[in-house]
């Protein structure tokens, strides 16, 4: 009898294990699909987060580039303002040296003034400031400002005949236009007095 109870108990345990095994296998069949769904959701979420992160990185990179460009532009404008303020000093040096009598040019203090002028020119040159060419050039309103228009023999129409004040550029920008005198073509003479087609009646 003990043996019968033992076999019945074993049979119940086996039966219970089979029932549990069946439920596990039924759940097990659903579990991989659930896991796949969860994995797909997680991958989609990761892709979304990665995309958002990449967009943020790109936006920040673009922002940084814009800020650097703006800073460079502001620095350039500040340099232009300072350099433009130095140009009247350069003009004063030119006028002073142009009117300096020849007998004074050998004096020590005059040589000092020439050295100061050379130093100022070197500073302007190192910053990219260049004088605008004018003599004999064709008038260009981007670089020149006409002070007078004159009829001068030997010059073509719109050719620059003289410089009143030197102009300068800073890179591609005009720091100050050159003030110039410009030649104009002579006015055409009318032929009213020389009319030979009229009759004498």
Q: What is the pLDDT of residues 126-158, one digit of tens each?
A: 999 999 999 889 999 999 999 999 988 888 889
- Alpha-carbon distances of 192 from 187, 188, 196, rounded to whole Å: 15, 12, 10
pLDDT digits (tens, 9 = 90+) for 37-88: 999 999 999 999 999 999 999 999 999 999 999 999 898 888 899 999 999 9
Yes or no: say if 135 and 178 are a contact pair by the CB < 8 Å rule: no
- Domain 131-186, CATH: 2.30.22.10
Give, as one character, the DSSP assignment of residue 156.
-
Q: What is the pTM of this model?
A: 0.60
- Distance, in Å, from the CA atom of 89 to the CA atom of 164, rounded to the nearest integer, reads 16
Helix 2-98, helix 108-126: angle, nearest 10: 150
Domain ranges of the chain: 131-186
Q: 170 is written with which tokens?
A: 């800073």
Residue 185 phi/psi, 5-degree rounding, is -65, 145
């Amino acid at each position: 009898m003990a043996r019968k109870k033992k076999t019945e108990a074993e049979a119940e345990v086996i039966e219970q294990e089979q029932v549990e095994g069946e439920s596990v296998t039924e759940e097990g069949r659903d579990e991989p699909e659930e896991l796949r769904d969860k994995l797909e959701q997680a991958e989609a979420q990761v892709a979304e987060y990665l995309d958002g992160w990449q967009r943020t990185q790109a936006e920040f990179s673009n922002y940084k580039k814009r800020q650097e460009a703006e800073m460079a532009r502001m620095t350039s404008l500040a340099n232009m303002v300072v350099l433009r303020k130095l140009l009247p000093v350069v003009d004063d040096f030119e006028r002073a040296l142009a009117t300096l009598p020849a007998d004074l040019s050998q004096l020590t203090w005059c040589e000092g003034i020439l050295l100061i002028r050379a130093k100022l020119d070197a500073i302007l040159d190192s910053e990219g400031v260049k004088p605008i060419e004018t003599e004999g050039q064709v008038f260009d309103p981007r670089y020149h400002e006409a002070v007078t228009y004159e009829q001068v023999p030997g010059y073509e129409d719109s050719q620059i005949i003289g410089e009143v004040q030197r102009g300068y550029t800073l890179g591609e920008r005009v720091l100050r236009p050159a003030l110039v005198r410009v030649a104009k073509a002579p006015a055409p003479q009318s032929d009213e007095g020389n009319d030979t087609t009229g009759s004498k009646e």
